[in-house]
């Protein structure tokens, strides 16, 4: 199995994935790291690990779909079997998702279906949630909606700050995301409707 990671920023989840591939915990080949942000530190992490990088500038494309068509060409050339989103801050179009049905994984920093969107940690914190967490899920055509692979809850302490909560959440992401990817790569995840089972 060959896979690509999509990232837009720092790439701390990418680093956890790179480390898990190197340790042979994920039995799949990470062949490409793609970003829609030329300055993403994730690209530097990939380069340092000897992984091919790709930046495609969205400004050169008239529509999101034409942009994604260009990306898909690169993915097909690299013989990518599945895709892992790790802080990719752009919604994928239905066109792209149909190209890789149930082959795109995402990490979200809340217990879905609560606190969808880009500010999952902050939204849970300001709402006063006592428990939040991390969700790993398949990507479908709705935002933060696809079948859930794995979830882990985190208690929000009385003296919690937004920064300390974010740290806790990222720590859990780095632990469970590689595990979910490993299960997928081994063909152990079965999807029936909204239920994902490990077989």
Question: Is 108 an active-site residue?
Answer: yes
CA distances from 38 to 53, 68, 107 (A): 10, 16, 22
What length is written for the chain?
A: 199
What angle is formed at CA 138 by the lines to CA 132 and CA 142, rounded to 5 degrees? 85
What angle is formed at CA 104 by the lines to CA 183 and CA 77, rounded to 5 degrees? 105
Question: Whole-angstrom Cα distance, residue 27 to residue 186?
Answer: 7
- Token readout for 147 is 């079948």
Catalytic one of 60, 74, 108, 170: 108
What angle is formed at CA 196 by the lines to CA 194 and CA 199, rounded to 5 degrees? 155
Using DSSP's 3-state secondary structure scheme, residue 52 falls into strand
**Which residues are annotated as catalytic?**
108
């Amino acid at each position: 199995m060959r896979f690509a990671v999509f990232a837009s920023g720092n790439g701390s989840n990418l680093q956890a994935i790179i480390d898990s591939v190197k340790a042979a915990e994920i039995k799949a080949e990470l062949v490409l790291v793609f970003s829609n942000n030329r300055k993403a530190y994730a690209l530097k992490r990939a380069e340092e690990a000897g992984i091919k990088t790709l930046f495609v500038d969205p400004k050169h494309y008239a529509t999101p779909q034409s942009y994604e068509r260009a990306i898909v060409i690169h993915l097909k050339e690299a013989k990518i079997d599945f895709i892992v989103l790790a802080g990719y801050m752009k919604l994928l179009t239905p066109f792209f998702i149909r190209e890789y049905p149930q082959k795109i994984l995402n990490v979200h920093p809340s217990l879905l279906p609560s606190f969808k969107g880009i500010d999952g940690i902050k939204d849970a914190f300001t709402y006063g949630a006592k428990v939040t967490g991390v969700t790993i899920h398949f990507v479908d055509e709705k935002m933060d909606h696809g079948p859930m692979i794995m979830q882990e809850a985190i208690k929000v302490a009385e003296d919690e700050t937004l920064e300390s909560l974010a740290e806790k959440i990222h720590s859990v992401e780095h632990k469970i995301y590689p595990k979910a990817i490993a299960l997928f790569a081994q063909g152990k995840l079965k999807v029936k409707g909204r239920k994902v089972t490990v077989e």
